[in-house]
Amino acid sequence: MTPARTSNAGPLSPELAEYLAQLAAVRSDATELLGGLSEVQLNWRPTPERWSIAQNLTHLVVIGRLYLPQLDDTIRRAREKGWRKPGPFEYGAVGRWVVAELEPPPRHRMRTPRLFKPQPVQPLAHVRDDFLTLQGELEQRIHAANGLDLRRAKVATIISSLLRLPLGQAFQALLAHERRHLWHARNVRSAASFPSG
């Protein structure tokens, strides 16, 4: 999948630079979380209803890959229409609510549609490589959005065709969702009955 190419928009905007910093923190957190895990530990589930570390990270890859084409379409359309603005941007209440609901610790349990559910067992190399590859692809989209009007350009969500988020808030929501599932994964690793190896 090839992201929309950037034009010469100058230095990265402070908002997008902050998203890159958050993305780097997510990447670092995931790398630390996966460090030293065995296949058994990676795929261990505290209860049949709760996901393993592997499932939490694989779910993020599934969601991220579904959003990449949406981000590309939004970025391309905004560039074609000449929607450029340096920011800073203020976003609406609905988008702020969506982002807040995705941040950890979760305030409400969310049901995951079958399409977004990961396989029960995943190999460590695939989980790690797929997750880190996704982070690189999201980084490319953040760079590609530089110079665009991050409020006017809207991203269709995979939740509902009626819900469209401003591009800047779509990045916020994806990052919040990643932090949420890393929080879940850390709780799995810190469970009292987590296997020793």
pLDDT at 27 exceeding the cut of 70? yes
In sequence order, what E strands does the chain have?
154-156, 164-166
pLDDT tens-digit profile of 54-110? Answer: 999 999 999 999 999 999 999 999 999 999 999 899 999 999 999 999 999 988 776
* Distance separating the N- and C-terminal Cα atoms of the chain: 37
User: Two tokens at 164?
Assistant: 């469209």
CB within 8 Å of 98: residues ≥ 6 apart: 163, 165, 169, 173
Listed range (17-31, 46-60, 152-166) with the worst mean pLDDT: 152-166
6 close to 158: Cβ distance less than 8 angstroms: no
**Domain at 14-189: CATH architecture:** Up-down Bundle (1.20)
Q: Give the pTM.
A: 0.91
Amino acid of residue 149: D
Q: Which residue stretches of 81-123 are H helix? A: 93-102
Q: What pLDDT shows up at residue 107?
A: 84
Q: Which helix (H) or strand (E) holds 24?
A: helix 14-34
Per-residue pLDDT band for 113 (boundaries 50, 70, 90) equals low
Q: What pLDDT shows up at residue 6?
A: 44
Instruction: Report angle CA 101, 26, 53 to the nearest 5 degrees.
Output: 80
Q: What pLDDT shows up at residue 5?
A: 46
Residue 91 to residue 171: CA distance in whole angstroms: 12
Per-residue pLDDT band for 122 (boundaries 50, 70, 90) equals confident
Domain boundaries in the chain?
14-189
Q: What percent of the chain has pLDDT over 70?
A: 93
59 close to 181: Cβ distance less than 8 angstroms: yes
Phi, psi for 162 (deg, rounded to 5): -80, -20
